[in-house]
Structure formats: structure tokens, C-alpha cells
Structure 1
Amino acid sequence: MDWTENLISKTLDKTAVVGIVGLGYVGLPLAVAFSKNFHVVGYNIDPEKVELLKQKKSYIEDVKDDEINLEMFSPTANPDDLKQCDYIFIAVPTPLRKDKSPDLSDVKTAGEEIGAILQKEQFIILKSTTYPGTTEEVLIPILEEKSGLKAIEDFGIAYSPERVDPGNIDYNMNNTPNVVGGLTPEFTDIGAMLCENVSTEVVKVTDCKTAEGVKMIENIFRNVNIALVNELALIFEKMDIDIWESIEAAKTKPYGYMAFYPGPGVGGHCIPLDPYYMAYRAKHFGFIPRFIKTSGEINDYMPIHTVNLANKGLNSIGKNLWGSNILILGLAYKGNISDTRESPAASVIDELVER
């Protein structure tokens, strides 16, 4: 395609403008990372957050105020400002509905807003966590309908899963490998070429749905193993075995074992959600993902078990939940961060209040 030559040239000489739609836990660190080499336009629908960024004030723990370089980074609440961009990343939330089905409304809205201003020769990269097939079957039709343009012929598109772990001091965007899968092999190469500017290693995969599948594997693996150890904790409790001591001893095996730990449930934007995204998608292919669904159910039960333990402890000293004063220590889904997304602490509190 002739039009990609200009994009490749601008990427190599770093004159390309990078747009980021969604300036949250993924989008803002991504914007800061790219602003070290490219001019970045960061679009967010919340004008208050945009105003904070214009004052060089970060609302994300992983981004320090002095990392915001307004000479290279332009925060905006106006989607028209994305017209000047050569690349546009979509980094918006993908939550679950109450019935545990995927809620892609933010991705669809972002697609509609981008489609309304989409220019020929722009390149769109979806980073939001989602089930395989979303880029091709949900996003591209919206972009084409709103813009009147055609993917491949007029604009590029790829998927690159986010790998942000809030509060992790060892692994960040720079030293965590970046996965990229494009609609065509050339789009994969172009997306990888761009991402090499923010990641020391870029892994290219066959296509968009393969890249989407990578994210599902990563977090379903964690969810399933957490569920396994949670179930073992429930069993060991009945047997009067200390699950923590057993895990520490198991860790001494130098091969074939990876430690996971029991807890009051799972939290964050990925682990509690991704299994349900995959289960939803699998049903479209006539497959019932029993193992994945069971792991989700086990982890969803753990907040209730936590309250049961509190009740048991109170009963042992002649008290009941009703009428007791309960202190909750820790509201985030893991230690030393302020991120409360999908935190099991909320479910524990709800259950305590209900009782």
C-alpha cells in the first residue's frame, strides 16, 4: 500500500503524532511513554482530568507530576484534536454488566468518536482488554460506517494488549514486552515499529484476534490458579491444615510449580473480568467453557467465605455480626496502591452490611 510509506517514514524520523483515547491507568502511562519521542495528543471525556494534566498534575500513581511534559503532550477534551494524529490508541475501560456479559460501550463510543474525525492514512490501535474478534467484528465496522473509509485501503488497524500492573516497581511499560497483531502482516510490522519506541521488546503475532487471545490467556491463567488455591484453602481449612505453610513448602520445588495465594477474592480491571469475556465469546462458537466459569464462581464466592470467617470468629467469643463494630483494613485490590477497581473488599463490605 502506497499510503503506508509516508506513515513508516514519519514513524522512523519521529515526526508522527500519537493520539491516545482514554487517559486512565493504561492511557496516561502510555501517553507519557510516547511523549519522550513523539508529540502526543491525549483525549479524555472528563474535562476535570484534562485540566489537571494541563496543570502537570497526575491522578495516576504510576505517573509522577514531573513526567508530564506539556511541550510534547497535549491533553484535550475535544475529539477534533485527534484529526492531526497519525496513530490513535484506544485505551478505554471494558467492564462487565451485572449479568457478567462484556460491556463494550466505551470501545464503541470511542470508535464512533474516532470514526467521525477519521482521516485517510491514520492508524488505529486498540489496547482495551477484550475478547478475540472485537477489533475486526466490532471496532472496524463502526470506524468504516462513521468515516465512510475502508480498513486496509484507507486506514490501518491493529490490536496490542495492555500490560499495565499498577504499583509494580519492577515491571513497567518499558521493560515489559509489547504484543502486536495487525489486520495485515504489514500493519503488524508498522504497529510493532511504533511500539518499539516505548518497549524494549515487541512480540509480533499473526493477527488482531491472536493478540486479543494473548490477553485472555494471561489473565485466565491467573484467575484459574487463584481459584484453585482458594478451593484448596477451603478444603484445607476443614482438614485443619495451614494452607500458607503448605504453599511455602511447595515453593521449594525448583521446577513445575508456581505459587499462587488464597484471598478474599480477585480484583483489578483484568483478572475478575477476562474469564467472563472469554466465556461469552466461546459460546458463540458452540463451546461451554466449564473450567473457566467454575474458577470465576469460586473466586466470586470468597468474599462470602471471608464474612463467614468473621462471623465464626465473633461467635467463638460470644458475639454476633449483628450489633458488632467491624473495621475493614484495605480497600484496594492489592497492597500499597489506591486502585479499588473490582476490589473484593467492596463485596465483603456489602455482605457485612447485608447481614
Structure 2
Amino acid sequence: MYNDLLTKQKQLAVIGLGYVGLPIALAFARRFRVIGFDVNAERVSLMQQCEDPSRQLVADDFADTDIMFTANSDDLRQAHFFVVAVPTPVDDYKVPDLQFLEQASQTVGRALKPGDYVVYESTVYPGCTEDDCLPILAQTSGLTPGRDFNFGYSPERINPGDKDRKLTDILKVVSGNNPEAAQTIADVYGSVITAGIYTAPSIRVAEAAKVIENVQRDLNISLMNELAILFDRMDLDTQEVLQTASTKWNFLPFTPGLVGGHCIGVDPYYLLHKAHQLDYDPQVINSGRRVNDGMPAFIASKLLQLLLRHGKHPRHTKVLVMGLTFKENVADVRNSKVAELVRELMKYAINVHIVDPYASANDVAHEYGLTLLDAPSIQYDAVVVAVGHDAYRTLDLAYFQSIMNGTPILLDLKGLYPKPVEETLTYWRL
């Protein structure tokens, strides 16, 4: 298989061309013939014009690639090595939503042929590839897994917005249904990943390793958030406490914040789901999720207190929220905890304005039913800097005073600005 891909006698296909799938497809397309498939024809049209709908890549990233973008699933019949990189969200009840994974498995199953390979990249719970995806592949294709086709799991490790650690610079974990399959999958990925390949002992080990990467981060951030809540009651500056504690060599550099996005805020629920299937209720993971999910309400309550302290009735106040994407310097607004913060503020009848230099107004309206302004207004009662975009880091306190009224309140959730020496405004940070 590997040699056939190298000599372009066979083609590789990537299913799902979002912030994970598109970079992978383009990386492979510098070595192999690639079919990039996405069900969204509008997104495919943009990629055919060398434009990334997620706005992470530039036109030059499409150069020197042998790739065909398509929304026609029949084109996948030309491929022999399939990489599935579709979203794995949770529903409104925090239960894993496998609809995209199941649909992708059906799509691949219809194109699957004897001797083919299927590799999943989507973050899942241990056992999902073999217990949930393989039966769909087998039923749709009429082929027997492990005999007629091989399969594997290679968890995505792309960090959106990270200009220093790109796809090829991050060690890649791979796994396969048998040693030969694992080696072939390692060879395919190893041809484009310069940082190296780690072959996990099994598919389930690889699945578990991926999901706990983000569970660990979730728990560490939840500890910082709980400390921030506690220190706020003690009238202590959490950032000052953390800076002091970090003078010890083994103190871990985690900070409090809003935990959204597709990884840290979602992956723990996949592991929790599997644990509940096994009649086990994880205390620590559940606790971390409760703390992090409660942060938008805590921050909204804190701002309400500050407004009332200044004699401002919520119904008669105007607040600017700066940043709505799930993290800095990206355009993706899905699963943004800032949107939850905005809704919490609206519960108090506060008039909330939202700006973000990266987010699309259409995406914000579609995802949350909220309006994104082109630029801030003036005479705000308070400003909440919620996302650490580079464009916000260059601002100073004088700027915030210029767009607020006579009793300015600044909530600096990312700790971007130094505490004011003089009490020219009310300043608060996590």
C-alpha cells in the first residue's frame, strides 16, 4: 500500500476538511495523490480556490499539492487509503454525538474495497473505532474488517492558531489492527510528519491516550478556576499568587480561564460516557467539568456585583465583550464559552455589544443567534476582554477609558494588561 501511494498508483482520501482535516490533506498531498472530501459543497468551492474556510491557512499552503477537492462521495471510490477527520461533539445533554462519525463511516464503507485501509483521527472514547465504526464499515461495504481491509487510529494533535507547532512538527501517534497494518500506517504518516511517529500498542490505547491529553488539561485548569473563585473571596489577585508560586521549579504553569473549543471542553465527556457504560462515576473528572462549565456564570455574577457597587442598574448599562472565538487568533466560534458568558449577562438585562477581529458575523448569528458588531461604540459601563487576540494585546488602559463612561470597569479575563497603579478605573482579572 505505502509504495503504491508513493508512486501514485493509488490515492489517499481525507474525509472531513475542517481545522484538522484540511491541513492533513494538504500535507499528504505533497507526497501522494489526495482526494479531499467534505459534505459542505460551499466549503469545497472555497478550497478549490485555495481558500481555507476556517481561515487558518493561506493560499501558499495549497501550493505544490496534488489534491482534488470534492463534495461528491462517488469520487472516493478512487481511493484506497481513507483518513476520517470529522467532528465529534457532544449534544445538549453532554452525551457524545457520533452522527458525523457514523455518516463518515457509511460514506467510506460505500467506497471501501478489498485491501484498503481506514484510519480514524477524530477524538473518541476507548473502543469507539472498533465497537462503533467498524460495524458500520462492515455492514455498508459487505467486507470483513481485518481480513478484507485494515484499519487504525491516529489521533489528531493539531493546535489551531499555533504558528510555532504545525502539523508536521508534532509527534504523531498511530495504531493498527495488526502489526503489519500499524507499520503501513506509520510509514504513510511518517512520510509527512518530521517530528516522528509513536506506534501505540493497540487502537484502544491510542484512543485513550488522546482523550486523557485534554482531560488532564481540563482538570488542571479547573483547579486554577476554583482557586480564582476562592482567591476572589479573599480579595487576592490570582495572577499575583500564581506568579509567586511559579518561582518553585516544579509548579505547573496553568492559569484560570474559560474552557471552550472542541477539545478540552468536550473530550472529558467522551471518557465520562464510557465510564458510565462501565457503571463507574469518575469523581475528579466530573468535578473539573462542573467547575469549568460554571465559570461564565461566575464571571457574569462578578461583573454584576461591580456594576451595582458603582450604582449602575443592569437594565440601564451597556457592556462591551471583546472576543468571541473559542481561543485566541482563530476564527472558530463553535463551543465558545464567551457566548455562554454573553447569555449570562443578558439574563441580567444588560445590553451587551460583541466585537471580534477574527469571527464571522454570519457564523456568530448562525451558531448563537447573537449580533457581532464591526467596531466598538463608546460610553460603555464596562468592557470584558474575553479572548487574548494579538490585536488586543497592543491596547492600553487609556484606550479602554476612552470608550467607557465616567466610572469605567475593565474585566481582563486573560490577564493581558498590567494592573493600574492609580485607580483610574476598576480593574478585575481571573
Instruction: Return 292-301 or 52-61, whichever deviates more.
Output: 52-61
- 1:133–1:212: 8 Å Cα contact kept in structure 2? yes
The CA deviation string for residues 80-130 of structure 1, in whole angstroms up to 9 with x for no partner, is: 111111211111111111110000000000111111121111100000111
**Aligned mate of 2:205, from 179, 188, 210:** 210
Report the equivalent of 2:256. Answer: 262
**Aligned mate of 1:275, from 260, 268, 273:** 268
Report the equivalent of 1:284. Answer: 277
Deviation of residue 326 (structure 1)? 1.4
Q: Does 1:220 align with 2:215?
A: yes
- 1:43–1:76: 8 Å Cα contact kept in structure 2? yes
Report the equivalent of 1:64. Answer: 58
Report the equivalent of 1:306. Answer: 299
Structure 1: how far apart are the matches of 2:45 and 2:327?
Answer: 29
The CA deviation string for residues 132-175 of structure 1, in whole angstroms up to 9 with x for no partner, is: 11100000000000110011111110001111111101111111
Deviation of residue 225 (structure 1)? 0.4
Report the equivalent of 1:3. Answer: none
The CA deviation string for residues 225-244 of structure 1, in whole angstroms up to 9 with x for no partner, is: 00000001111111121110
Q: Which runs of 5+ in 2 are unaligned?
A: 349-430
Cα RMSD (Å): 1.3
- 1:173–1:198: 8 Å Cα contact kept in structure 2? no
| Residues 125 and 9 of structure 1, relative CA distance in 2, 3 Å threshold | same
Structure 2: how far apart are the matches of 1:10 and 1:76?
Answer: 22
* Structure-to-structure mapping, 1:107-122, within 5 angstroms: 107-122=101-116
Report the equivalent of 2:339. Answer: 346
SS in 2 for 1:327: strand
SS in 2 for 1:124: strand
| Residues 251 and 71 of structure 1, relative CA distance in 2, 3 Å threshold | closer
Whichever residue aligns with residue 143 of structure 1, its letter is L
Structure 1: how far apart are the matches of 2:188 and 2:227?
Answer: 44
**Aligned mate of 2:46, from 47, 52, 67:** 52
Q: Highest CA radius of gyration, 1 or 2?
A: 2
Q: Does 1:334 align with 2:320?
A: no
| Residues 100 and 270 of structure 1, relative CA distance in 2, 3 Å threshold | same
Deviation of residue 342 (structure 1)? 1.1
Aligned residue pairs: how many? 347
SS in 2 for 1:203: strand
Report the equivalent of 1:294. Answer: 287
Deviation of residue 300 (structure 1)? 0.4
Instruction: Return 143-152 or 329-338, whichever deviates more.
Output: 329-338
Structure 2: how far apart are the matches of 1:276 and 1:17?
Answer: 35
Report the equivalent of 2:229. Answer: 234
Structure 2: how far apart are the matches of 1:9 and 1:39?
Answer: 12
Report the equivalent of 1:185. Answer: 179
Structure 2: how far apart are the matches of 1:70 and 1:60?
Answer: 20
Whichever residue aligns with residue 226 of structure 2, its letter is E
Return the structure number with greater relative CO, CA threshold 8 A, min gap 6: 1
TM-score by length of 1: 0.95
Report the equivalent of 1:102. Answer: 96
SS in 2 for 1:342: coil
Structure 1: how far apart are the matches of 2:247 and 2:78?
Answer: 55
Whichever residue aligns with residue 332 of structure 1, its letter is T
SS in 1 for 2:228: helix
SS in 2 for 1:86: strand
SS in 2 for 1:225: helix
Whichever residue aligns with residue 322 of structure 1, its letter is R
* Structure-to-structure mapping, 1:26-41, within 5 angstroms: 26-41=20-35
Whichever residue aligns with residue 260 of structure 2, its letter is G
| Residues 83 and 69 of structure 1, relative CA distance in 2, 3 Å threshold | farther
Structure 2: how far apart are the matches of 1:33 and 1:317?
Answer: 55
* Structure-to-structure mapping, 1:128-207, within 5 angstroms: 128-200=122-194, 201-207=196-202
Deviation of residue 323 (structure 1)? 2.3
Structure 2: how far apart are the matches of 1:220 and 1:335?
Answer: 21
| Residues 178 and 220 of structure 1, relative CA distance in 2, 3 Å threshold | same
Deviation of residue 329 (structure 1)? 0.7
TM-score by length of 2: 0.79
Q: Which runs of 5+ in 1 are unaligned?
A: 1-6
**Aligned mate of 1:247, from 242, 249, 274:** 242
Deviation of residue 341 (structure 1)? 2.0
- 1:56–1:70: 8 Å Cα contact kept in structure 2? no
- Give me the identity figure in percent: 37
Structure 1: how far apart are the matches of 2:138 and 2:268?
Answer: 30
Whichever residue aligns with residue 256 of structure 2, its letter is P
SS in 2 for 1:328: strand
SS in 2 for 1:158: strand
The CA deviation string for residues 1-59 of structure 1, in whole angstroms up to 9 with x for no partner, is: xxxxxx13324546441100000000001111111111110000011111111122222
SS in 2 for 1:295: helix
